[in-house]
Chain A
Amino acid sequence: MKQDRSVLGVTWLALAALLLLLAPAPASAELRIDITRGKVEPMPIAIPAFAGGGGEEGKVGSDLAQVISADLGSSGLFRPLDPRSFIQNVAAGEGPRFGDWRQISAQALVTGSVQTQGDGRFRVEFRLWDVVAEQQLAGFAYTTTRQNWRRIAHIIADQVYKRITGEDGYFDTRIVYIAESGPAQKRVKRLAMMDQDGANHQYLTDGKALVLTPRFSPSAQEITYLSYASGTPSVYLYNLDTGQNRSVGNVPGMTFAPRFSPDGSRLIFSRSENGATNIYVMGAHGGGMSRLTEGNSIDTTPSYSPDGAKIVFNSDRGGSQQLYVMDSGGGGIKRISFGNGKYGTPVWSPRGDLIAFTKIEGGSFYIGVMRPDGSGERLLTQDFLVEGPTWAPNGRVLMYFSQARGRGPRLYTIDLTGSNQREVTTPGDASDPAWSPLLR
């Protein structure tokens, strides 16, 4: 009998424990649903012509909208909607009727106006609206001279890009590159500059001397490049404000592949002397030159990390051309590329997270990126000849030049996904681009 009782007791205990286990969770736990996946697609955005009083104001209002649309569309992250589909005419001055914009699938709306002030300058106002949430996301006004309206458009595009993506924009920037013309035996190479969308194109040198590898200073007001003006390749500085063009430092031997330090105070470059090519640094306006690498190998195309603490360069010191990272004072050299093929023209991203490079493998050229420790190598594009990547200031887009068989080189952009590749229109053949920082 006793045994029966104890068995019964154990059974009840087990049942009680089971019931406790099965009891529902306390009602106080708040319901939560995690959405960890989405759909990456360009955001439909409506950019109607900015309202203007008529005449020139009206034309500028319309042009502003077109430039903003082109900028945002070129990023691949926005899909500007066809103005012919717009239902509401916001140029009439009334506030947005969100229902009308939702009906054409717009998720964002940019409205604005242009007014001529008493001093003859334009005052441009714009607002960015979230059509779905029915609220204003951003609103700014700018005043500028009439000729400067394109920059206002780029600045507005940057504001929209930044507010929607959370990243800095890159539309209010310039490109300096080498404009090429003439037959292969007598090729003319000139320094040229334009807005990132190809507008406001201008030549900075006359083509009498061969020029190569131009690079912007952090202020975007100076350009350093290689020129054969003196007969031997030397590093030059071009000041965009004054138009002054001069050689830097009077350094004996060949100097090439110059680039500014992140603070703009120094220039880093390669110098070839007595059969060896090493990396040197000196003050941006000459003086204080010191050598950072040693040996008989070819060390070239140096590029600073954005914090100025490291330098990436390519060298054949290991037998083939590979990428190396060293401290900015020289020393601590570490190889970071270990894939098949040769690596060259490394450029550190303005964000510091990636290094872009050119890779040659199996007779093909590639543009790729890897982390500063050499991991995570990704090849973004490939062609008969692709070379010379340069970063947009937000570190999201690369520009490079590409040459297909039977035609001259052209400039292209590609984003880090490798999916949004576009040609940048230039008047003629173009190579060796360099992207400026955001203009101030």
Chain B
Amino acid sequence: MSAISMMTVEAVERDLAPGTPGTTAREVMPGGIALSATLHVGMLLLIVLGLPSLFHHPPPQEQPIAVALVTIAPETKATHPNPFRPKPEAKPEPPIAAPAPKPEPKPEPPQPVPEPPAAAAPPPLPAPPEPVKPEVKTPPLPPPPPPKPVEAQAPPPPPPRPPEPKPKPEPQRVQHAPRPETAKADPKAFDKLLQNLEDKHPQPAAFDNLLKNLTRQQVAEADEAPPAPHRMAATAPPSSQPKAPLGSRLTASDIDLVREQLRPCFNPPFGAKEKPDLVADIRVVMNRDGTVQQARVDDQGQYASDQIYRAVADSGIRALKNPRCSPLRLPPDRYEVWQSFIFGFSTKDMQ
């Protein structure tokens, strides 16, 4: 065994012999250079072109995300007219009660009657009859259809708009009053429409029944007494539109949109800029059409005691009710989310 191993060793040594210095320069070098050059070129190619994809993965299927367009522009979502649309409009009826609060401020007038400055005047000034007058006069506030007297006076005003468009600029009241009518009219119109459709295009019995059921259901709903705001949300009719993908929340862009919309109408008082930390919270209840049904200052204590706070809060409420910035552009399909919430008005970011 040892002899064999010795021979092997020798053979090996003999094979290695050509590697001695004398032969290397002449025979081995050319091959090495070529090899080295090949490897370098290969490396260079790898660096430039990148590694070959050994495992070819099929490109991932691009799944379309049909989200963004839907949330921002509700109009574009309307795949077809929603026959139940009129119902939400009918609900704003409750605000008709809004004129009721008006009488409140008027009774208030019983002027605190601070006496004149320098002039010596009777202190108490109970003067019950006098303050009463304005009260009596003011009640006509719920000016039903004032356009007539207005037109009579119209000649002098050289203002921008003619008296005719009047009804429009009064979004709140005008809307409330006429709505009930449209609400009732719609079901009938829709009923007739269905009947016409039936006449013109006799439908299969099953579909016919379905349509009748639909109309009955709608009429029943329309006949209901004007529901309270909360109820409105609870009984919100099933939308024929595709559900919003983001479902139960407002997106950042929704909120930004509202901010941008309100900014031009929020005219805070001069001194508020020196109190950037002052935030007046206004709790709002919204109508489904984006108009403000009710706005109430959250902190009544501070409202009564802090003049600047009161001025900021009043500015906020004016902004919310200003026709220039109303109705708010909120996604109608998520009414449950913004049916009531809080606006915090401050001058924090004003220069």
Contact = CB atoms under 8 A, between A and B. Distances in A.
B342 A39 contact: no
Given A33-B343, A100-B150, A165-B270, A107 B318 contact: yes
Contacts of B268: 38, 40
Interface string A378-395: 000000000000000000
B316 A143 contact: no
Interface string B129-146: 011001001111101001
Interface residues of B, number: 95
Interface stretch (B13-21, B69-77, B79-87, B100-108): B100-108
B290 interface: no
B344 A439 contact: no
A99 B169 contact: yes
Interface in A30-49: 30-41, 43
Interface centre among A35, A38, A132, A143 (most CB of B within 10 A): A35
Given A103-B161, A165-B269, A139 B143 contact: no
Interface in A108-147: 113, 115, 121, 123, 125, 127, 130, 132-137, 139-145
Nearest to B256: A33
Interface stretch (B49-57, B152-160, B201-209): B152-160
Given A133-B318, A139-B109, A148 B269 contact: no
Contacts of A38: 263, 266-268, 315, 319, 345, 347, 350
Interface in A12-28: 24, 27
A97 interface: yes
A36 B170 contact: no
Interface string B159-178: 11101011001100110000
B317 interface: yes
B89 to A, nearest CB: 20
B250 A31 contact: yes
A93 interface: yes
B68 interface: no
Interface stretch (A1-9, A57-65, A82-90, A401-409): A82-90
Contacts of A97: 141, 143, 146, 150
B343 to A, nearest CB: 6
A155 interface: yes
Contacts of A121: 119, 121
A30 B348 contact: no
A422 to B, nearest CB: 16
A125 to B, nearest CB: 7
Nearest to B262: A35
A39 B266 contact: yes
Contacts of A125: 111, 130-131, 134
Contact of B105 (A93, A115, A136): A136
Nearest to B110: A139
B151 to A, nearest CB: 9
Contacts of B321: 132-133
B35 interface: no
A172 interface: yes
9 contacts: A27-B248, A34-B348, A37-B347, A88-B149, A95-B137, A102-B169, A133-B317, A145-B119, A164-B314
Interface of B: 101-102, 104-106, 108-109, 111-119, 121-122, 125, 127, 130-131, 134, 137-141, 143, 146, 149-150, 153-154, 156-161, 163, 165-166, 169-170, 173-174, 248-250, 255, 258-259, 262-272, 274, 279, 295, 306-312, 314-319, 321-323, 337-338, 341-350
